[in-house]
Amino acid sequence: MKLSNFNFNLPKELLAEFPAENRDESRLMVVNRKTKTIEHRLFKDILEYFDEGDVMVLNNTKVFPARLYGNKEKTGARIEVFLLRELNSEQRLWDVLVDPARKIRIGNKLYFGDDDSLVAEVIDNTTSRGRTLRFLYDGSYEEFRNKLTELGETPIPKYINREVVPEDAERYQTIYAKEEGAVAAPTAGLHFSKHLLKRLEIKGINFAEITLHVGLGTFNPVEVEDLSKHKMDSEELMIKQEACDIVNKAKLNKKRVCAIGTTVMRAMESSVSSQKTLNPYVGWTNKFIFPPYDFSVADCMVTNFHTPKSTLLMMISAFMGHDLMKKAYEEAVNEKYRFYSYGDAMLIL
């Protein structure tokens, strides 16, 4: 499989700028891998495809307001700082991306907030846009984190070509988000409403939670024609024993295990035993799934509609089969499904 196998024409107007009015009323394309059939439903109809004892695996990561705007000392130039990950909480060191990067050198200071109440010093260059910052702030660690939250903005993806609105803080977050650490939402989960989760629970569907802190690498384009040469960014992953027990029991009882999103699929495939059971895990994963690939845990998945040439599309191709994926995406474009983070969903059975 080559990169060029994953290109397709996506009309600009199919990029979702805003989410559906109600989370569970986005559209749902249901694709059956056995029968090669495609149905068009609403997301809340997902209830009809699952039975008592089936398990949905959710990624409970929580997006933090990772985008800050500051001013460079002396010149006052406006600089965007995107927080990627905390390196050291005591020293308040962070791995960040800066824009425009050419102006930001080691030793520069950046000032944030109208009153310059937060200052950061650039202490290292990591990549062309990457820097290590040390934040200088007088208060406690908790006050410092609160300050970041106060000054930060919801990091909706760059391709959403509009200003951030207050609703984004709620809608670019799953309703089951708990563990803060992601800079992008696990978007398949955005379609679940409290009401729908309750109805699934009443029907006897079980839920297992894992945590994979989604990084910006999710959006990194693949730039090599030979997919085996692409390197994924590492992302932090936690799978607890409790989640493993729920998933492994379902598999033992021949019940379905559904991965809610590519992040969940990647997380589970990163920690599998030779018996194809899920193992606990704490660490990092840079697993890249592309065809051909033999999946071990989930037998169905929910996912959004992804960009041409993206690693996410490659995983979907590996799971669905390439020809069926192409057919489904062609139909999605013809039927004007909404694409990307705030777009519609697909259930692959």
Q: What is the pLDDT along the chain (349 residues), one digit of tens a residue?
A: 899 999 999 999 999 999 999 999 999 999 999 999 999 999 999 999 999 999 999 999 999 999 999 999 888 899 999 999 899 989 999 999 999 988 899 999 999 988 888 999 999 988 788 899 999 998 999 999 999 999 999 999 888 989 999 999 999 999 999 999 999 999 999 999 999 999 999 999 999 999 999 987 777 778 899 999 998 988 999 999 999 999 999 999 999 999 999 999 999 999 999 999 999 999 999 999 999 999 999 999 999 999 999 999 999 999 999 999 999 999 999 999 999 999 999 999 9
How far, in Å, CA of 254 to CA of 62, rounded? Answer: 31
Three-state secondary structure call for residue 25: helix
Which residues have C-beta within 8 Å of that of residue 274, sequence separation ≥ 6? none
Topology match between the domains 3-63+169-348 and 67-153: no
Domain range annotation of the chain: 3-63+169-348, 67-153
pLDDT at 208: 98
pLDDT at 244: 98
The CATH class of 67-153 is mainly beta
CA atoms within 13 A on the CB side of 255: 21
pLDDT at 256: 97
Identify the residue whose tokens are 């999605």.
332
Answer CATH for 3-63+169-348 from 1.10.260.40, 3.40.1780.10, 3.30.390.50, 3.20.20.140: 3.40.1780.10
**Residue 173 token pair:** 């977050």
Identify the residue whose tokens are 């905390």.
86
Beta strands in the chain (DSSP E): 27-32, 37-42, 55-59, 61-63, 67-72, 78-88, 93-99, 109-112, 118-125, 130-136, 179-182, 206-212, 235-239, 257-260, 281-285, 300-304, 345-348
- The whole-model pTM stands at 0.93
